[in-house]
Structure 1
């Protein structure tokens, strides 16, 4: 199974971007090294690649899209969803081509992760960039960790809120606060995240994929049932604060850029990944259509009553609706464990090296560290128990950096000084778009969070 923002990538002999016009980035100079793999390596087919991409970009953010459309406005949300999806997909292509250039520039077989791309780009670029190589790697890893732990916080809020609705129906006298449900959900999460081998998590992840897919179908059934109100029942544009909140949610929904490199690495035919009709574009078109449909029709169906997750709007008195909430709670366990694995693989080796002189029980120390990290996500989730606001905050504050800001910067650094003026302008506009969303989305989310907690 695959997971976001981790693993390594062996670049294919992919097309070099047009912005690279120097001899360092010239296709004539880029002779692909033969790809050598471990003898136990089992490449994945194009179909499996597509499924992994879809799974990596479809999650809790999808169920928050109707609320995002309500914030921005029905037609404003539709247009901005398409624009943001296009830019995010383009940035994914930039990361892939940058990785391919850097792998060839090294002159031998090399595996590169997102952080490796950042470091090698600065190391092998122009002299003025070399001194910033280590900082680039640290920043990428830092935001990967923050983003992944942010996903875990969102999952915890999502699971607890849906579980509360189900329990409130069957035991209305209990009257537990959502934070108490968070503590309850955290207990099995602690033991689940003691598993140190991804192979043991594979069945959990498979079950999560099945339950989530069933839940999406059922949600669309409820949206379509009994018809939809006219489109003029929802304003086309809401307000700029709403647009800022929308930005964070939609970036959260498309923030699968960390999944791209590990997937292409393990493909049987890596060349099929790119191109206008390649697997990446086809998968992202499907993800965009699904997010667009969920946001548009979900917002149209429930209007001003839409909650942070559309699953919370499903009728309480129907068993099928309650099953969706139970399915999603169970699915969250697999998703949480897979996302949690990423920061562990980045943070624990660093910490282990620092304490190795007095660390007499390495296994116990690692399990304690895992437990503390799970408890950290509990504390953060309990501080902001609002699904939509948490999703918007994580998407705007960290997702925009990884998905929209870093890739164009890395592409320019990789190909400098042979970058065309048009390419510089294009990448500069993408960075401005990402920074605008980062600043406005983070500000709007924090403002809403503060007003909701006071």
Structure 2
């Protein structure tokens, strides 16, 4: 007769197998039929909590699916999606670190972040092969990895899976808050020049209605024209800014090569926000015609990220070299204010971020609505759509209120990077990797375990210190009055 302990172990194994099975069949047929080819090809953004079908689905489970992105298209999409508001804060990040430490740390952090992306992508595909899964979101990756790890971690699979979705929502919501601060500051600058001075928060409040109109668009297909306009404006703006940065440079001796170590966490959070683009990377690999070319030492990912990291390092270096102590949180505010060209750049960037707002918020809505709210509602199309519109409306109002409460572009950006991306880009890949390799070992001297622990330690240190310092400075700058 089996003992009570054996029965308990058998029930636990049965429960784990049942959860794995539920994960395996949790695929949205509509997503599989309609969203896979168009979303990533046209927009190159993360879909459904970074859970678009993996390469494994296209090549193993569904060989009839024809992926449509070439290596060059993937490369261009990856580079295009890497440039945004985070790059504008890089000169200020170099001010917090010093030009020498800034150059070295940008390259080093970029290398570590990209390496962690490689590890996570390999682990996702390994889990798909191991469990014959056709689709995995980041949340489901975390759940399955913990179920494959030590027994004492099984009970944590679902809570950590939910926490992944919370961080994904918080990250994209935070990006929208940063966008609002950025747009409002640029509009205020131009408005003060050509109209009459108004409070910054009033500009934010005036943005609510136009943002709601774009955010109520439920189908990404209709956001494509906005994305094209945003990309054109962003590329043109960066070219003009860089031209200003390299004109009549002062002596480098007047710039600090290093800064006090207490300012480095702000640099860390800003660089993570600027470089980390995990959702885009996961989505782009899944849409490639030849996904085997994405990874590898000379793969598409490495080629694109080398270009991105070098540009960010150069942009931050020349921005700090040009303006030194006067470097603003957004380099746009260092450009000559009364010249037409910088004013055009401010207007173009404000329009680009305005058109990108709905695209970032789409991920938050999709996680909340598709993942949690819609399955619990009665199958009534009209009422369900009304609830979704209310969720979208609430997210716009909430993001504007957060921006009004903390209208500091640089600190808000550093906080989002430190709090969300340190966990999504470093800590969680380390946890997933440790659990995936648990049953097969960690190699000679447990070197792979030490690698995962390094991701964990770096993410914890940078995330905690960056978050604490950002929150402290935000509270000092914008104290809560009761």
TM-score after normalising by structure 1: 0.91
Task: State the alpha-carbon separation in 1 of the partners of residues 374 and 135 from structure 2.
Answer: 23
Alignment counterpart, residue 10 of structure 1, candidates 54, 68, 72? 54
Task: State the alpha-carbon separation in 2 of the partners of residues 280 and 178 from structure 1.
Answer: 39
1:301 maps onto 2:301 in alignment: no
What displacement does 1:125 show?
A: 3.6
The residue aligned with 2:62 is: 36
Structure 1, unmatched stretches of 5+, are 14-31
1:72 maps onto 2:91 in alignment: no
The residue aligned with 2:284 is: 263
1:348-405 CA distances to partner (integer Å, 9 max, x unpaired)?
1322344438996222221121011111101111111010000111011111111111
Task: State the alpha-carbon separation in 2 of the partners of residues 12 and 224 from structure 1.
Answer: 46
What displacement does 1:289 show?
A: 0.8
What displacement does 1:133 show?
A: 2.0
The answer to whether the 8 Å contact 2:415/2:467 transfers is: yes
3-state secondary structure, aligned to 1:34: helix
The residue aligned with 1:101 is: 126
Gap change, CA 1:11 and 1:412, over 3 Å in 2: farther
> How do 1:371-390 residues align onto structure 2 when only pairs under 5 Å count?
371-390=393-412
Structure 2, unmatched stretches of 5+, are 1-42
Higher relative CO (Cα under 8 Å, sequence separation at least 6) belongs to: 1
1:152 maps onto 2:176 in alignment: yes
Alignment counterpart, residue 383 of structure 2, candidates 354, 357, 361? 361
TM-score after normalising by structure 2: 0.86
How many correspondences in the alignment?
A: 431
Q: CA RMSD in A?
A: 1.9
The answer to whether the 8 Å contact 2:237/2:348 transfers is: yes
What displacement does 1:34 show?
A: 2.1
Alignment counterpart, residue 192 of structure 1, candidates 214, 218, 229? 214
1:126-146 CA distances to partner (integer Å, 9 max, x unpaired)?
433332221221111110000
The answer to whether the 8 Å contact 2:56/2:129 transfers is: no
1:412 maps onto 2:434 in alignment: yes
Task: State the alpha-carbon separation in 1 of the partners of residues 380 and 282 from structure 2.
Answer: 36
The residue aligned with 1:449 is: 474
> How do 1:18-417 residues align onto structure 2 when only pairs under 5 Å count?
34-36=60-62, 42-107=67-132, 110-171=134-195, 174-225=196-247, 227-349=248-370, 350-356=372-378, 361-417=383-439
The residue aligned with 2:462 is: 437
1:38-78 CA distances to partner (integer Å, 9 max, x unpaired)?
75x55211111112211232210000000010111111111
Task: State the alpha-carbon separation in 2 of the partners of residues 81 and 203 from structure 1.
Answer: 33
Task: State the alpha-carbon separation in 2 of the partners of residues 52 and 119 from structure 1.
Answer: 29
Task: State the alpha-carbon separation in 1 of the partners of residues 97 and 149 from structure 2.
Answer: 41
Structure 1 segments of 4+ aligned residues over 3 angstroms from their partners = 124-129, 352-360
